[in-house]
Structure formats: structure tokens, C-alpha cells
Chains A and B, each alone.
Chain A
Amino acid sequence: METLKNLAHNYYYLVAVVLFVIGMHTMLTHSNLIKKVIAMNIMDTSVFLLFVAIGYIRGGQAPIMRDIGDGFYINPLPGALILTGIVVGVSVTAYALSLVVKIYRYYGTVDADEIVEIRSREQ
């Protein structure tokens, strides 16, 4: 019961981990190269979600300097970190997709299994 309560309280934690595992599993096992890239993004996004979620406090104010009386600010640092993380993720995705385009030009397919088949036929 205690575990369930904890889970219900920290549901974002669970969601992030589930997304992380989905992304990682697809990335490592799926043969379609585009899907690998998408899975990579899902995996990155799950971490971003978790990071932003842990910085948030229910009822907290946006971290802008002004008089907020008895209220409190939420932590701005995770947001700032994740902005950097998103930029990094975008550049990796762009590079990965450009590689997929080049591979497609050589083989006419984006499926890793078919590429292996084509290569074995050539030898």
C-alpha cells in the first residue's frame, strides 16, 4: 500500500521511466533507422520531462524578480538545463537524420535488416 501511495504521489517519475525504457528498447531493437532516431528523441524527452517535473512545486510562482508576498518561486535551474539539453538533442537528431538520408541514397532503404541482406548478397 505504501508503495502504491508513493507511486501515485510521484506518478511523473513512473511516466518518465516508462518513456525512457520505451525509447531505449526501440532504439536498440528496432530495425528501422528513422524509428531509431524517433526513439532516441523519446528517450531524451523522458529525461527532460523528469527534470522539469522535479523543479516544479505546486503553487510556486514563475522565477521572475518581483514582490510575491508569502509565495515562493519554483526552481529555474532545471528549466535552464533542459533548454540546453533540447538544443543538444536537436543537433544530434539533425545529424542522425542526415546520416539516414546518406544511407538511404546508397541502399534505397532505411531498414537495417534489409541493408544487411543487401550487403550479404553483394559479397
Chain B
Amino acid sequence: MTLQHHFPALIIVIFLICAFIMPLLFRWRSTLCAPALLLVHLLALAMAVALLVRLYAGGPFYYHLGNWAPPWGIELKIDFLRVYMVLILVGLGLWIFVYALKDLAHELKREVTGWYYALYALLIGSMSGMALTNDMFNLFVFMEICGIASCAIISIKESRECLEASFKYLILSAMGTGCYLMAIAMIYMVTGQLNFQLIREALPAAAGLYPNNLLVATALIIVAFGTKAALFPLHVWLPDAHASAPSPSSAVLSGLVIKIYAFSLFNILFFVFPASFRQAVPINEIVLWLATLGILFGSIFAMVQEDLKKMLAYSSIAQIGYVFMGIGLNQPTALLGGFYHILNHALMKGMLFMVAGVIIQATGRRRVKDLNGIGHVLPLVMIAFTVGGFSMIGIPGTGGLISKWYLAEGALLANRLFFVIVIVLSSLLNAVYYLPIIINAFLNPYEGREPVKPVSRLMVGAITAGMIAVIFFGVYPKPVIVFLKAALAAVIGM
């Protein structure tokens, strides 16, 4: 057994170990903390790339923790989609962390920075775990770690809004995990298995004997992951939580955390439930219609927001709807669009929250109507905001167009013209609230006497990198699309 063999587990473990020693390291040599976490991110990224190389050489493979094969041990599964998620999580986690290095000094007390790094490592590690695990109960444990970590990186700011928002988030997230645990109990009762693949094999027989158990479990799973990923009627916690958090936290919560729950729901729907079961129960239809409502209402709520970060948070509810729409349409091209949107939205929403952070730090303004002429004082940052806004709308040359294009094509191929109209309509709705900000920022004069505070070059650099990435994935999407096509062909062809 070489070290390389253990890479799937090591990706998760190094983050967890790093989270454990970070507060101690902060007491001892506080300057070492940030480089250590950067190094861990780079190591994990290198390991994820190594996994990808191995995947290309030999196809999907499994890793048994502690060398215990299922049904006794926990199993990690490594296939193209999961590695795609891990690459997004770790890569964009690194990007947001670079921004956080300078931003945190303005938002947090210095003593808690070490704790923040610990929580950040815990969050990225648990999300990588959720992406790789092939075991129902292991998924629950990672969900709880992720839930606590994501509440804690909001409440670490200790302002009143943050505390209230994270308590609300915690209660709803506890409801979500409670529902999920109940669903595990229901499934375990009738199949006696926890491994995805083994449940899949046992389900057809169990579905004949105990259909009610499985129906309840399905409903609970949709509620659980819907709450966690802010699927429309269960989104109530998101605006407060994402708007009041420190900017790097908002970026990682909106960009990565809600996506990983959507991905887990996809995993369970497609890898645990057999295709016959998905046809007998209209799970996909339910997800599809909730996603449609989310896409429309998220945008409508976003229009009336006065606070910039709250507007971005509501926009996230609309955008996660696209990912769920891809899952709901149950069609390879639409799924491709949904998965491409995971990457795109993580990039653009992360970048937009970073821009909001820079604006708040430089001018102290966070109300949408106070942003007149801000493009004259923070030109580069507002150009990035423009690119992000264009990508949300889906203007050619940005990543947003490509994912919407594939979603719409998938809807057409599935003979669901209505959803093409929804996509077009939602682009219009996005334009209604992003364009006025952009126009006012550049065409109106800047009012205000107080000087604009200088902003760290590193933060502006991170934003610029994000902007370049959004344009890159909009102009040259081919490598990712080809990769996802091959990955999804394996899933749908099952």
C-alpha cells in the first residue's frame, strides 16, 4: 500500500487534522496559521488532481476506510463527478481563503482568527467528505460537521444579527439533519444496509414489501436536503445567514455549501434509488417545480431588497434553483447545465460577495441605493461586479450563459418548453436587479465626502482572478463540458 492509495481519505483527514491543531498553532505562532492552511489546501488540490489522473487511467474506484469492506466498513467512492466537486470545493476554497486573509482583519477580532481558520478547514474538509462518501450514515456525520461549521463561521462575528441568523440557521439545519437521520432509519429498517450500492441492490425487493417506509424516507430526504440547500419553500434561513456573515463566510456559504447539499441529493436520487423507483414516485417532478418556484421567487424577493448582501443572498436562492432544475429535468444535457452551473455560480457568487465585502470595507456602504457612482472610486472592483452581474443574467462571454444554454437545451430535449420560458424569464428578472446597480455605479457621480479607505491588493487580486475565471469559463467552456459529458454519460447510462 503506497501513500498514493490513501489519497481519497487523506484529502478529508488533512483538513480535519488542520482544524484540530489550528487553534493551538495560533496560540504558539500565530503567523504560521495562514501559510499552514494554504499549504493544506494546495496539498488537497494536488491529491484531487492525482485522483483525477488515476481516474483517467483506470476508471471509478472505491476506497475502504481502515480496510474494512462494506457492509461493515465505510466506503468512499471516487468517480468523475465526485472529483469534479472536490476540485471545485478545494480550488474555490483556496481562492476564497486568499481573500479572507486580508478581509478578516477588518471584520473579526484578532484573537478569533485562529478559530476562524479552524472552522474554515473543518468546513472544506467536511464538504469534501460529503462529496466522496458512499455511505448514508457517514454522509449524516459530515452533514452535521458541515452544519455546525457553517453556523459557526457566521456567529464568530458576534454581532447581534449574526447570532440571531446563525441560531435560526442552526435550528433549521438541525431539523434537516433530524429528517435525514429518520430517513436513514426508515431505509435501514427495510434493507439492513447503509452503503449506497448495497441499498440500491436491496431496494427493489424492499419496495414491494414495505412501500410506505420508502415513501416516507423519500419525502424526508427531499425535506432534509431541500432545507440544507435552500430549495424554495425551505429557504427562510438563507437570506439572514448569508447577508449578516463576514464576507468570506458569505462567499463560501453561498458559493459552496448549498451546492454540496444539492450534489448529495443528486447522489442519493441517482445512486441509491433505482431508476424504476424514481419513475414510480414523482421525485424529479417535485424537485423540478420547487426549483422553478425558487428561480422566480428568489429573483422577485431580491428586487425589493435594500441591502446589497441580502440581495445577493436572495439571488442565491434563485441560482440554486438552476442546479435543482438540472436534477429535476432528469435529462443528460440539463444535468450537464446544472453541474456546470455549480462551478459558475460558485465563482460568480463568491466574487460578488467579495466585491460587496470590499465596498463595505472601503466606503462603509451596504445599501443598494447608496452605491451611486461607486464605479468611479473603485473601478476594478465594480468592473468585476459588472462581469458577475452579466454572468447572472447570462450575457454572452460569461459562464452564466453556457449553463443556462445547456439547461434550456435539456428542457427542449425533454419536451418541456415551459421551463425554457422560465429560464428566459428569470434572466430578465436577474437583469432587473443587477443592471440598475451597474448603471448607477458608473453613470452617476459619486457623492460623499468621507475618503475611500485603501483596500488590500490581495483582495482586489482575488476578485480579479475570479473575474478572469468567469470570463474564461464563458468563452472557453469546452474542457469542462467534455469532462462533464463523459462523467454524466456513465451516470445516465446506468
Report yes or no: B185 in contact with A50, Cβ–Cβ below 8 A.
yes
* Closest chain A CB from B234 CB (angstroms): 11
- Check A27/B181 contact, CB under 8 A, given A92-B148, A99-B166: no
Report yes or no: B163 in contact with A106, Cβ–Cβ below 8 A.
yes
A91 to B177, CA, bound (A): 14
A47 to B183, CA, bound (A): 9
Q: What residue in chain B is nearest A20 (Cβ atoms)?
A: B182
Q: When the two chains form the complex, which single residue of A44, A47, A78, A99 contacts B163, counting CB atoms closer than 8 Å?
A: A99
Contacts of B167 in A (CB 8 A): 33, 96, 99-100, 103
A15 to B329, CA, bound (A): 38
Q: What residue in chain A is nearest B170 (Cβ atoms)?
A: A96
Residues 155-176 of B contacting A (Cβ, < 8 Å): 155, 158, 160, 163-164, 166-167, 170-171, 174-175
Q: When the two chains form the complex, which single residue of A24, A84, A91, A96 contacts B175, counting CB atoms closer than 8 Å?
A: A24
Q: What residue in chain A is nearest B181 (Cβ atoms)?
A: A47
Is B36's CB within 8 Å of the partner chain A? no
Q: What residue in chain B is nearest A102 (Cβ atoms)?
A: B163
- Check A54/B185 contact, CB under 8 A, given A27-B174, A92-B144, A99-B166: yes
Is B217's CB within 8 Å of the partner chain A? no
Report yes or no: B182 in contact with A92, Cβ–Cβ below 8 A.
no
A81 to B322, CA, bound (A): 35
Among A43, A78, A100, find the residue whose CB has the most chain B CB atoms closer than 10 A: A43
- Check A99/B155 contact, CB under 8 A, given A47-B185, A54-B185: yes
Contacts of A95 in B (CB 8 A): 148, 151-152, 170
Contacts of B144 in A (CB 8 A): 88, 91-92
Q: What residue in chain A is nearest B160 (Cβ atoms)?
A: A106
Report yes or no: B171 in contact with A40, Cβ–Cβ below 8 A.
yes
* Closest chain B CB from A66 CB (angstroms): 20
| A: interface residue count bin | 20 to 34
* Closest chain A CB from B192 CB (angstroms): 8
| B: interface residue count bin | 20 to 34
Contacts of A27 in B (CB 8 A): 171, 174-175
* Closest chain A CB from B4 CB (angstroms): 29
Contacts of A33 in B (CB 8 A): 167
Contacts of A47 in B (CB 8 A): 178, 181-182, 185
- Check A84/B137 contact, CB under 8 A, given A78-B188, A92-B148, A95-B151: yes
Report yes or no: A103 in contact with B164, Cβ–Cβ below 8 A.
yes
Is B189's CB within 8 Å of the partner chain A? yes
Contacts of B174 in A (CB 8 A): 27, 40, 43-44, 92, 96
Contacts of B185 in A (CB 8 A): 47, 50-51, 54
Q: What residue in chain B is nearest A28 (Cβ atoms)?
A: B175
Report yes or no: B170 in contact with A99, Cβ–Cβ below 8 A.
yes
- The proximity string for B residues 121-140 relative to A, scoring 1 for CB distances below 8 Å and 0 otherwise, is 00000000000000001001
Is B141's CB within 8 Å of the partner chain A? yes
* Closest chain B CB from A112 CB (angstroms): 9
- Check A92/B141 contact, CB under 8 A, given A44-B181, A47-B181, A47-B182: no
Is A115's CB within 8 Å of the partner chain B? yes
Contacts of A115 in B (CB 8 A): 164
Contacts of A54 in B (CB 8 A): 185, 188-189
Q: What residue in chain A is nearest B182 (Cβ atoms)?
A: A47
Residues 40-65 of A contacting B (Cβ, < 8 Å): 40, 43-44, 47, 50-51, 54
Q: What residue in chain B is nearest A48 (Cβ atoms)?
A: B181
Contacts of B166 in A (CB 8 A): 99
B interface vs A, CB < 8 Å? 137, 140-141, 144, 147-148, 151-152, 155, 158, 160, 163-164, 166-167, 170-171, 174-175, 178, 181-182, 185, 188-189
Told that A24-B178, A44-B178 touch, could you supply 13 new A-B pairs with CB distance under 8 A? Answer: A23-B178, A40-B171, A40-B174, A44-B174, A88-B144, A92-B147, A92-B148, A96-B171, A96-B174, A99-B155, A99-B163, A99-B166, A103-B164
For this complex, 5 residue pairs linking A to B, each with C-beta atoms less than 8 Å apart, are A28-B175, A50-B182, A84-B137, A96-B174, A102-B163
A interface vs B, CB < 8 Å? 20, 23-24, 27-28, 33, 36, 40, 43-44, 47, 50-51, 54, 78, 81, 84-85, 88, 91-92, 95-96, 99-100, 102-103, 106-107, 115
